[in-house]
Amino acid sequence: MNKHSKMMLTGNKAAAWGVRLAQVDYVPAFPITPQTEIVETLAQWFSDGTLTGKYTNMDSEHSMFMAAGAAAATGVRVFTASSSQGILHGMEALYTIAGWRVPLVMVNVSRALATPITLEPDHNDVMSTRDCGMVQLHAETCQEVLDFILIGHRIAEHPQVALPVLVNMDGFYLSFTREPVVLPEPSEVARFLPPYKSEQPVFKASQPMARASAVFGGATYSYFKIQQDLAVRQAETVFHEVSEEFAQYFGRNYGPVENFMMDDAEFVFVMSNSFATKGKAAVLELRKQGIKAGLLKLRLIRPFPTQAIADSLLGHHKVAVIDQNLSPGMGGILFPEIVTSLYSRINRPEKFLSVIGGLGGKDILKEDFFSIVEHLRSDKSEGPLFLYNDDDLKQFKKVSHIALAEKGGSES
């Protein structure tokens, strides 16, 4: 690449630019905070002729996802976006269209789930989709958001994958944060991502075709689910191929994971999305104090890049997996997946620590990373470590005091 421009863009605007550069044919939309800026921007561009094709306001996320899947089944390039409760409302449709094996790209702007309701982010919404059969790419920066939409369309439309691809970014921390973003030259994007031409059978007028018919008997159902599993696994190979080609065009090379200061790291934080930026800053602070810390950032969550994770973590002594999600009664959702990746390896880390932080947009501070190191140094075997400080504890006690007062009890 040789020509490019740079603009200050929010994560949402970067997503819209990714869709614009991909020359998407159809966008079904339904607004929800904090992703609305994406579809508002696209609506304007469709309205003024910047984008051709079709933009439709739907009556809910459920119908939006069904419209996206149905359009993709006709062989056109499709994009949509949602967040939080919208994802849950459309969950039935997400399983359905992933089972249809139709290619499209959607952005999820992460927001914590009710109850209690909040507008701030964590990852329980996107983690709820991990078993749908979609490919998942998680972005740390606005540049990654744009790039992953272009890469995502190539993966989704690959004939050996043919699945929806979800690109995740953090609400507010990234969706409304402006960063410098390199905009690829449209002619270069057109060579990297030419107009979509399906190699799969697609719906056409006057040519009846059945898709996703009902099946009876476990064997037939199992056959389709195994095919879906193989396609998701194949997406990792395709991701590598497409990323290498993307680097040749645009100079940015993406692996399924990113290693930051890992070479001699004794303490490793495993993170994803925009809070990984905070983790990297903490790693630099720890190293100033002589503590050998490093960070492993996850970009590809589905398929889970087991080999890449094991290759990165083998030989390091202590690993903390910081989940910005919570499975009540179990802990962090990614923690057991990371541990499983290394279970059969001889030189695996001697200690793993499950850490829960960033719920409902709660900040993860530099002091939190120092505390995690102290817990990794401890000989005690611990359950999930919840990150909170003295100010948080005062707020917890205040809420508890209110609840007890309403019951006529007293705070202990």
Structural element, H or E, at residue 398: helix 390-407
Give the confidence band of 410 by pLDDT, cuts at 50, 70, 90.
Answer: low
Residue 95 covered by a domain: yes
Residue 84 and residue 116: Cα distance in Å, rounded? 13
Give the confidence band of 401 by pLDDT, cuts at 50, 70, 90.
Answer: confident
Residue with tokens 């709660």: 362
Of the residues 219, 250, 281, which one is the last residue of a structural domain? 250
User: Do 222 and 268 have their domain in common?
Assistant: no
Buried b / exposed e over 262-299, threshold 16 CB at 10 Å, is beebebbbbbbbbbbbbbbebbeebeeeebbbbbbbbb
Output the pLDDT for position 140: 98
pLDDT in tens, 332-356: 999 999 999 999 999 999 999 999 9
Q: Which two tokens stand for residue 34?
A: 């904090």
| Mean pLDDT, residues 177-188 taken together | 98
Residue 406 covered by a domain: no
Give the confidence band of 1 by pLDDT, cuts at 50, 70, 90.
Answer: very low
pLDDT for residue 217 is more than 90: no
Coil, helix or strand at residue 272: strand
CB neighbour list of residue 361: distance below 8 Å, 6 or more residues apart:
112, 118, 120, 121, 122, 171, 172, 173
pLDDT for residue 411 is more than 60: no
Q: Number of structural domains, the chain?
A: 2
CB neighbour list of residue 49: distance below 8 Å, 6 or more residues apart:
none
Of the residues 250, 275, 308, which one is the last residue of a structural domain? 250
User: Do 91 and 61 have their domain in common?
Assistant: yes
Strand 351-356 with 135-138, pairing: unpaired
Output the pLDDT for position 354: 97
User: Do 232 and 329 have their domain in common?
Assistant: no
- At residue 42's C-alpha, the angle toward residues 105 and 55, to 5°, is 75
Residue 407 covered by a domain: no
Q: Give the Å distances, CA to CA, from 299 to 19, 37, 175, 220, 268.
A: 20, 24, 17, 33, 16
User: Do 273 and 218 have their domain in common?
Assistant: no
pLDDT for residue 2 is more than 60: no
pLDDT > 70 fraction of the chain, expressed in percent and rounded: 98
**Residue 52: which CATH number?**
3.40.50.970
Q: Which two tokens stand for residue 220?
A: 């037939």
Coil, helix or strand at residue 196: coil
Output the pLDDT for position 209: 84
More confident residue, 299 or 211: 299
Residue 46 covered by a domain: yes
pLDDT in tens, 109-129: 999 999 999 999 999 999 999
Closest among 154, 177, 158 to 21, alpha carbons compared: 154
Q: Which two tokens stand for residue 89?
A: 């409302």
Give the confidence band of 3 by pLDDT, cuts at 50, 70, 90.
Answer: low
Residue 166 and residue 153: Cα distance in Å, rounded? 10
User: Do 240 and 262 have their domain in common?
Assistant: no
Residue 400 covered by a domain: no
User: Do 273 and 201 have their domain in common?
Assistant: no
CB 408 within 8 A of CB 398: no
| Mean pLDDT, residues 127-143 taken together | 98
User: Do 237 and 276 have their domain in common?
Assistant: no
| Mean pLDDT, residues 260-280 taken together | 98
pLDDT for residue 412 is more than 70: no
CB 332 within 8 A of CB 355: yes
Residue 371 and residue 156: Cα distance in Å, rounded? 41
Give the amino acid at 116: P
Residue 398 covered by a domain: no
CA 32 from centroid of its chain's CA atoms: 17
Of the residues 235, 250, 265, which one is the last residue of a structural domain? 250
Out of 27-41, 69-83, 193-207, 317-331, least confident range: 193-207
Residue 116 and residue 227: Cα distance in Å, rounded? 39
pTM of the model: 0.96
User: Do 209 and 281 have their domain in common?
Assistant: no
User: Do 99 and 188 have their domain in common?
Assistant: yes
Residue 399 covered by a domain: no
User: Do 243 and 270 have their domain in common?
Assistant: no
What are the φ and ψ backbone dihedral angles of 293, each rounded to 5 degrees? Answer: -110, 155
Neighbours of 239 (CB within 10 A): 26
- At residue 198's C-alpha, the angle toward residues 4 and 14, to 5°, is 30
Q: Which residues span the domain enclosing 341?
A: 257-393
**Residue 332: which CATH number?**
3.40.50.920
pLDDT for residue 391 is more than 60: yes
